[in-house]
Amino acid sequence: MKKIILLSITISILIFSCQLDQSKMKSDDQLYKLETEYGDMVFKLYDATPLHKENFVKLIEQGYFNDLLFHRVIDGFMIQGGDPDSRNAETGVMLGEGGPGYTIPAEFVDSIFHKKGVIAAAREGDNTNPEMRSAGSQFYIVQGIVLDDEAVKKVEDRINASRLNTLVTKNIEAAKNKAFNTGGSIDYQIILPEARKKAEEEFKTESYYKIPENKLRVYQTIGGTPHLDNAYTVFGEIIEGLEVIDKIASVETDKNDRPLNDIKMRIKKL
């Protein structure tokens, strides 16, 4: 989910091309308007994520989002809404647990990523949701930041640390299963270093993740949140009203990131 970037003609063309690839824009795309007191945002939904598109359209047609709040706002990151419990919620109440009672299978598309202005589905964490299924109605709009070289390195390091930890966990589980199946004992003082050593051997230089060049150009000019790529489903984007994201993201919030003054939304088809 501030800075004026001056681009050369070449960079502008590259970014425009990347945006077209990500959004697969067509002249007959159905557009929708998200109305707030801070201004309106016009958005479209991606054909490349049909399950999320169908669900979001259904909810819009039901008037599901009308008068719900942007209940979680983090400046430099994103603005989040879609919790039905936020309608008429008392001031200060922590929100973010509500939904329509179902989840949606993840739809990760490599050419669609977390640039500023995209709409993505919130979800429960990996520990309780290993399939990364999306929440039925809660969504966020990316603000993010424009990344310099240092920030890019930090993001890549963060992603690779997570990937390495995943391999370590996998190796620990494999060792535990082997011990269980053979009737052996589990000595974590042995298992842990062995699991990490094996993971580091598997995690060769060629496995080190680097943000692809086409995405990197966007993240270093438009901005976004690349550490969320391929972890949360992106299913649409704002095509008018990006400045509204910044206005909402800058409001004062409480300790739970809920705006002190309610920010309601209404969504309708154009």
Per-residue pLDDT, 206: 61
For residue 27, pLDDT beyond 80: no
Is the distance from CB of 115 to CB of 229 less than 8 angstroms?
A: no
CA 34 – CA 23 distance, rounded (Å):
18
Burial class (CB in 10 A: 0-12, 13-18, 19+), 258: buried
Per-residue pLDDT, 148: 94
Which residue's entry shows tokens 């598309």? 109
Helix axes 188-202, 149-182, angle to 10 degrees: 130
H or E segment to which residue 60 belongs: helix 50-61
Beta-carbon contacts of 132 under 8 Å, excluding residues fewer than 6 positions away, are: 106, 123, 126, 231, 232, 233
Fold of 9-146+221-269: Cyclophilin (2.40.100)
For residue 186, pLDDT beyond 90: no
233-243 pLDDT, tens digit per residue, is 999 999 999 99
CA pseudo-torsion sign 25, 31, 34, 40: positive
Per-residue pLDDT, 220: 96
Q: In the numeric block, which tokens belong to residue 34?
A: 């998200």
Lowest-pLDDT range of 10-24, 41-55, 132-146: 10-24
Give the number of other CB atoms < 10 A from CB of residue 21.
12
DSSP, residue by residue, 156-194: HHHHHHHHHHHHHHHHHHHHHHHHHHHT----HHHHHHH
Per-residue pLDDT, 122: 98
pTM of the predicted structure, to 2 decimals = 0.81
Instruction: Give the residue extent of every domain in the chain.
Output: 9-146+221-269, 149-207
For residue 194, pLDDT beyond 80: yes
Per-residue pLDDT, 28: 65
CA 22 – CA 113 distance, rounded (Å):
7
Residue 42 CA, chain-centre distance (Å), reads: 19
Confidence of residue 179 (pLDDT cuts 50, 70, 90): confident
Residue 213 CA neighbour count, 13 Å, CB half: 2
Q: What is the mean pLDDT of the chain?
A: 88
